[in-house]
């Protein structure tokens, strides 16, 4: 925390790289130090364009799943890295059959969901994953199901799918979620599933890191005049943090880096707040699980500079 009594910047305790992302990043950097082969991550290692550019400078590239076959002729000179989100079961089989060298950096929490789906869907009629249909983690997870499987984004889609795909309230279905799904929404989905179907197998699969961050951002957003969410615009967990912050704080902003801060707007808000007697202007900052520490630090420093300058201008 930095403050000059009239303004302060408060950073969430759980901001920045989570355990799974740090592990994946360390894995790929360690691999870089051990091999001269070209390294490809299957999809972006983390959803942060600045970081992806930094990896390119180290000869670590991104290959999308559908383009992997184009690397087949050169497979003896490359190593693939499976990122924290994991990949589809079929793709693991393909890599093994074709003899690709690969390192698996799937987060253990994601692997746990794959195991749940694999073990529990053998006798089930349906497997539902609450999450984002296009997100690689959700796409990977449903590939482990031995029954019909679908990704649902919200409670109403869940209800519609259950009614369409199950024939009796006694049909067995498996309910899981993406690790970054909204906790409050998932609790409601679980209640609905229990109310409508007697034979549902429901699993708590939201990552505790995500839950902690989401709870923390609710609290911080209530206490701050401005909330800054630092992270990639394509990062699912960053977008969720932004959604939550926007619910509780009227001035919430998602920024990828320090120079995206709206200096004029933040200065104006700060000056307006400080017109009130004894007011303190507070900026809250949190960051998605894929935001590198130095980028978060730059945003903190820049935000502090902006509000300290603005507060100086209001001093008579
Ligand atoms: S958010 Fe949780 S599940 Fe996802 S990579 Fe990080 S630790 Fe793993």
Task: Mark which of 166, 187, 202 sits at the end of a domain.
Answer: 202
- Note if 44 is an active site residue: no
d(CA 140, CA 89) in angstroms, rounded, equals 7
pLDDT value for 315: 54
Q: CA–CA distance from 50 to each of 55, 160, 272, 295 (Å)?
A: 9, 40, 34, 9
CA 176 to CA 179: how far, in whole Å? 9
Residue 54: count other Cβ atoms within 10 Å of its Cβ. Answer: 12
Question: CA 231 to CA 225: how far, in whole Å?
Answer: 20
Residues 176 and 89 reside in one and the same domain: no
Other CB atoms within a 10 A radius of the CB of residue 88 amount to 17
Task: Note the Cα 82 to chain centre separation in Å.
Answer: 16
Give dist(CA 276, CA 137) in Å, integer: 47
Nearest CA residue ID for atom 5, ligand 1: 20
d(C-alpha 17, C-alpha 46), whole Å = 10
**Cβ pair 154, 192 in contact under 8 A:** no
Q: Which of 202, 230, 259 is the last residue of a domain?
A: 202
Q: How many domains does the chain have?
A: 3
Supply the range of the domain harboring residue 167: 109-202
Q: What is the CA radius of gyration of the chain?
A: 22
Q: Are residues 222 and 276 in the same domain?
A: yes
Distance from C-alpha of 87 to C-alpha of 73, rounded to nearest angstrom:
22
Best mutation site among 27, 84, 208 for ligand 1 pocket (most ligand atoms within 8 Å of CB): 84
pLDDT computed for residue 80 by the predictor = 98
First to last CA, the chain: 25
One domain, residues 212 and 310: yes
CA of residue 16 to ligand 1 center, whole Å? 11
Same domain, 89 and 56: yes
Q: In Å, what is the CA distance from 132 to each residue of 74, 77, 111, 153, 202?
A: 34, 35, 18, 6, 18
Q: Cβ(86)–Cβ(112) under 8 Å?
A: no
Which ranges in 99-235 belong to alpha helices (H)? 108-120, 136-142, 155-165, 183-196, 208-223
| Spatial distance between the Cα atoms of 189 and 168, rounded to a whole number of angstroms | 19
Which one of 202, 222, 246 terminates a domain? 202
User: Which CATH number covers residue 77?
Assistant: 3.40.50.11270
Hey, which of 24, 210, 211, 235 would you mutate to test ligand 1's pocket, going by the most ligand atoms within 8 Å of its Cβ? Answer: 210
pLDDT at 193: 93
Sheet-wide strand order for 126-130: 148-152, 126-130, 173-177, 200-202
| Best CA proximity match to 189, nearest among 215, 209, 161 | 161
Query: Which pLDDT belongs to residue 15?
Result: 92
Report the atom number in ligand 1 closest to the C-alpha of 108: 8
Together in a domain, 233 and 174: no
| CA dist., res. 198 & res. 45, Å (int) | 40
Within this chain, do residues 181 and 268 fall inside the same structural domain, yes or no?
A: no
82 and 137 in a single domain? The answer is: no
CA distance 251 to 225: 7
Indicate if 82 and 151 belong to the same structural domain: no
**Same-domain check for residues 186 and 241:** no
Q: Which residues of the chain have pLDDT under 50?
A: 1-3, 316
Do residues 23 and 92 both lie within one domain? yes
How many Å lie between the centroid of ligand 1 and the Cα of residue 179?
7
- Give the 3-state secondary structure of residue 213: helix
What local confidence, expressed as pLDDT, does residue 2 receive?
A: 45
**What tens digit of pLDDT does each residue of 21-49 get?**
999 999 999 999 999 999 999 998 887 88
The pLDDT of residue 1 is 46
Specify the 3-state DSSP secondary structure of 148: strand
Residues 220 and 307 both lie in one domain: yes
113 shares a domain with 103: no
CA 277, CA 289: separation in Å to the nearest integer? 38
107 within ligand 1 shell (Cβ under 6 A): yes
């Amino acid at each position: 925390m930095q403050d000059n009594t009239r303004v302060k910047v408060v950073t969430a305790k759980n901001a920045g790289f989570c355990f799974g992302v740090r592990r994946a990043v360390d894995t790929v950097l360690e691999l870089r130090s051990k091999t001269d082969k070209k390294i490809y991550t299957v999809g972006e290692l983390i959803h942060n364009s600045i970081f992806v550019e930094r990896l390119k400078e180290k000869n670590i590239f991104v290959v999308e799943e559908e383009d992997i076959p184009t690397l087949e002729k050169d497979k003896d000179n490359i190593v693939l890295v499976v990122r924290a989100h994991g990949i589809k079961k079929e793709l693991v089989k393909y890599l093994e059959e074709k003899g690709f060298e690969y390192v698996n950096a799937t987060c253990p929490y994601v692997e746990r969901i794959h195991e749940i789906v694999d073990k529990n869907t053998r006798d089930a009629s349906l497997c539902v994953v609450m999450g984002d249909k296009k997100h690689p983690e959700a796409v990977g997870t449903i590939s482990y199901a031995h029954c019909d499987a679908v990704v649902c984004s919200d409670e109403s889609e869940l209800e519609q799918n259950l009614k369409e795909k199950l024939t009796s309230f006694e049909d067995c279905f498996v309910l899981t979620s993406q690790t970054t799904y909204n906790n409050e929404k998932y609790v409601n989905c679980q209640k609905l599933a229990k109310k409508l179907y007697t034979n549902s197998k429901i699993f708590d699969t939201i990552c505790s890191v995500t839950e902690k961050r989401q709870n923390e951002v609710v609290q911080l957003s209530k206490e701050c005049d401005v909330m800054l969410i630092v992270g990639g615009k394509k990062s699912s967990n960053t977008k969720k943090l932004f959604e939550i912050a926007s619910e509780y704080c009227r001035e919430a902003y998602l920024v990828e880096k320090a120079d995206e801060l709206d200096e004029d707007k933040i200065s104006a808000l700060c000056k307006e707040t400080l017109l009130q007697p004894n007011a303190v202007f507070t900026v809250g900052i949190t960051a998605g699980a894929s935001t590198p520490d130095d980028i978060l630090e730059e945003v903190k420093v820049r935000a502090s500079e902006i509000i300290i300058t603005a507060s100086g201008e209001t001093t008579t």
